Each structure stands twice: as C-alpha cells, then as structure tokens.
Structure 1
Amino acid sequence: MNVEKLMKMAGSVRTGGKGTMRRKKKAVHKTTTTDDKRLQSTLKRIGVNAIPAIEEVNIFKEDVVIQFVNPKVQASIGANTWVVSGTPQNKKLQDILPQIIHQLGPDNLENLKKLAEQFQKQAPAAAEDDEDDVPELVAGETFEAAAEGGNTQTS
C-alpha cells in the first residue's frame, strides 16, 4: 500500500493532535429521547401515578402469556389507563401455568378452567378441520339430479 495514503488515513481518525489516542469506533448519536419525552408528557396530562412494589405482570393472550418481571407500572383509574414498561418475555400458557396458579384468585381460577376447556374442545376440532367443508348429500339425491331439477334449497 502507499505509505502516504496510509498516513493520511491514520491521521483522520485521531481525536486530538499528534501522539493522542485514536478512536476505536465511530460514535452514533440517537434521538430516541424525543419519543420518550412525548410519551411521558402525554401520560402526565392523563394523570398517571406510579404503583410501587409490583414484582410481576402477566398478560394472557390466547395460548401465549406475556410476562414482565419487575416492571414499572403506572395507572390512571379515571382515564382507565394502565402503563406497564419493562422487558417482556413471551411464554406458552402450558409452560407458565404451574408457576402462576397460586397467584390467581378464585374468580380467575374459574376463568382459567373455562379457558382450558376451550383448548381441549379446539384440539380435537383442529384435527377434523383438515377435511374440506363439503356438505353431506341428502339420501337419494345426486348433484346432477339437483342441477337438472332446479332444486334451489337454502339453508
């Protein structure tokens, strides 16, 4: 390589004068604070208050549970608004159920039983859904006979 070109490139990465350390990597500045500031100002307008001492939040969506461990929880009861911020983890309901069953109250336990019954009903139905949805023929009729006879029954 050309020595002059190499010296020119080496000189462009210095942070100060001769004999100073070179930069290891280029600094990237992000402006994500504007979104956060706008969100915080909107939440302040709504009047949310922090709720302390919440160790875990579980959000149930069909057969997936979104779990937040040690989240920051804010709420505005009048505006019917809850804010849960933290790092979420997606887990399957079957995997997390033994861990959280003792946290559920009697009302939620009944809801969970209904949910489990729905899953059991859907599992056999899913196997049957593989067949096409073709209606059964009426005994003694064929498609050709129905088309020729102009039989237009609606169900």
Structure 2
Amino acid sequence: MDVEKLKKMAGAVRTGGKGSIRRKKKAVHKTNTTDDKRLQSTLKRLNVNAIPAIEEVNIFKDDTVIQFQNPKVQASIVANTWVVSGTPQTKKLQDVLPGIINQLGPDNLDNLRRLAEQLQKKAPGAAEVAAQEDDDDDVPDLVPGETFEAAAEENQS
C-alpha cells in the first residue's frame, strides 16, 4: 500500500486530535429536538395561546376520523391557526359516529346528517349499482305535452 493513502485513511477515522483513539466509523448524533424547537419558535411568533380543558378532538376527513384523546390545543385566532398535538387514532366514521352524536350541538347535527347521507351515496349495494348502470342507458322522458320541435321553435322566436 502507498504510505500517503494509508495516512489519508487513518486521518479519516480519527475523531479527535493527534494521539486520540481511532474509530472505524464516526458517530453522528441526530436530535429530533431541533424540529420541535423550530416549531415552538414559529408558534411563539404567531402568538398562540393554550386552550385548557379539551378532552377530545375529532377531525373528519372523507370516511375516516382522526381522533385525539386529551390533546394539547393551541390557537391563534388572528392567524387563523389551530394546533392540536397528541397521539392520534385513525378510525372509520361508522365506528365513531354513535359517541360523537352526544357531543354535537343542534347546529352541527344537520352537518352530520348531510355527511351520513353522503356516505350512503358513496357505498351503494350491488342491486343499486346494477340499477344505476341500467338507468344510464335510458333516455330521459320528455315533459308531457312538449316536443323537440316546439322547443326549437320557441328558441328561434
């Protein structure tokens, strides 16, 4: 081996100064606290305030619900920013729905009813799918007493 190449390899594994212990691999320590510190400093600039005594947060997304039990909730009304931190659980809407109905007020009950109707429309049964496919091929019925010719004459006048 070449002496220069050997010195170069030996210098690459030395972690300290001259006379220190040589290691095969330099240990690189990564900390996740830098991301957390960066987030906290950004939230501090937004002037978020902690909201106490929130036991549960549910975020509705399509057919799933992201649920937080005893989360830490912070909000900045001016910046239109809400921060929910904690351990999330992803559940299906059908599983969570009975427990959520008790917590909703009269204003949100209508929204929940619309959401349930959308779920029923998204998941039709096999007979309904076959009926929908047959209906697509049919020509819609005309309004009684009207013809295409009469409608065309009205548009020309």
Question: TM-score, normalized by length of structure 2?
Answer: 0.62
Q: Which segment is superposed worse, 43-52 or 116-125?
A: 116-125
Aligned counterparts of 2:90 and 2:59: Cα–Cα separation in 1: 10
| Residues matched between the structures, number | 109
For residues 60-117 of structure 1, the C-alpha deviation after alignment (integer angstroms, 9 at most, x for no partner) is 1111010000000000000000000000000111111111110001111100111111
Where does residue 57 of structure 2 map in the other structure? 57
The residue type equivalent to 1:53 in the other structure is A
Where does residue 76 of structure 1 map in the other structure? 76
The residue type equivalent to 2:113 in the other structure is K
Q: What aligned pairs does 1:43-122 form with structure 2 within 5 A after superposition?
A: 43-122=43-122
For residues 32-70 of structure 1, the C-alpha deviation after alignment (integer angstroms, 9 at most, x for no partner) is 111100000000001101111111100011110100000
Within the alignment, does 1:128 sit opposite 2:144 as a pair? no
Name the SS of the counterpart of 1:35 in structure 2. Answer: helix
CA-CA distance at 1:122 after TM superposition: 2.1
Alignment gaps of 5+ in structure 1: 1-27, 139-155
Aligned counterparts of 2:55 and 2:88: Cα–Cα separation in 1: 13
Question: TM-score, normalized by length of structure 1?
Answer: 0.62
Aligned counterparts of 2:107 and 2:57: Cα–Cα separation in 1: 18
Where does residue 42 of structure 2 map in the other structure? 42
Aligned counterparts of 1:128 and 1:105: Cα–Cα separation in 2: 35
Q: What aligned pairs does 1:21-32 form with structure 2 within 5 A after superposition?
A: 29-32=29-32
- Does the C-alpha gap of structure 1 residues 35 and 113 become closer, same or farther in structure 2, counting only changes over 3 Å? same
Aligned counterparts of 1:61 and 1:90: Cα–Cα separation in 2: 10
Aligned counterparts of 1:97 and 1:76: Cα–Cα separation in 2: 29
The residue type equivalent to 2:129 in the other structure is E
Identity %: 77
For residues 121-143 of structure 1, the C-alpha deviation after alignment (integer angstroms, 9 at most, x for no partner) is 222288638x99xx8499xxxxx
